[in-house]
Amino acid sequence: MGNELLVAAARRGDDAAFYSLITQHKEKMYRIAYSYLKNETDALEAVQEATCRAYMQIRKLKEPEYFGSWLIRILMNYCADEAKRKTRRADGQQAVAAALDPHAANGESALLERVMLESAVEQLDANYQKVIQLKYYHDLTITEIARTLQKPEGTIKTWLHKALGGLRQRLGKEGEPNG
C-alpha cells in the first residue's frame, strides 16, 4: 500500500496504517531528535510525543503525500520547545546560583552546585518555590509575579527575600566571611 493510501486509511482511524507510516520514519525521527536534544532518553521521549501528536492531528494533514515532512516538522517543533525549556531551566539555575553567590566557581563544581541547588529549592515552602521559579527560571519581574500569583508586590518581595535566605542557609552560603 502506498503512503497516500496509508495516510488516507490512518485518517479514517486505521491504527495499523498509522503504525506502518510511523515505522517508516522512526529511525530518521530518532536521529533528528537526538541531534536536537543530545540525550537518548530525551530523544526517545520526543519521538513518542511527536508520534502521539501526529496521531491526534492526522485528520488535519492537508497533503497526504507530505506525511513525512509533516511528521518531522511536528518532531522538530517539539524538540525546539524542549531545548528552549532545558536552556531556560539551566539559565534559571545559574541565575539563582548567581543571586546566592555571585563569586561562585565555574567548572566541574558547577554541576554539583546545580544538583544541590535543585534539592534546596525543592525543600522550600511551595510559595517560595513558585517565586524562585518565576523570577529566575522564567525571568518574570516582581510585578509580573504578583499579577500571576494574585498577591501584592510586597508579599512577593518578602517571599523572594525569605526564599533566597532559606537557600543560602541550606547551601551554607551566608555571604559573609567566617572569622
Query: Which tens digit of pLDDT belongs to each residue from 86-96?
Result: 776 666 666 66
Where exactly are the structural domains of the chain? Answer: 3-86, 101-171
The dotted CATH code for 101-171 is: 1.10.10.10
pLDDT of 67 over the 90 cut: yes
Reported as a pLDDT band with limits 50, 70 and 90, residue 112 is confident
In this structure, which amino acid lies at residue 36?
Y
pLDDT of 177 over the 60 cut: no
pLDDT of 81 over the 80 cut: yes
Q: Stretch 73-101: mean pLDDT, rounded?
A: 75
11-15, 98-102, 124-128, range with the lowest pLDDT: 98-102
Distances from the Cα of 69 to the Cα of 3, 62, 164, angstroms: 12, 12, 47
The dotted CATH code for 3-86 is: 1.10.1740.10
* pTM: predicted TM-score of the whole model, two decimal places: 0.51
pLDDT of 54 over the 90 cut: yes
> Is the model more confident about 113 or about 132?
132
> What local confidence, expressed as pLDDT, does residue 116 receive?
81
The alpha-helical segments, DSSP class H, found in the chain are 3-11, 15-37, 40-57, 67-100, 108-122, 126-132, 142-149, 153-171
> Is the model more confident about 76 or about 90?
76
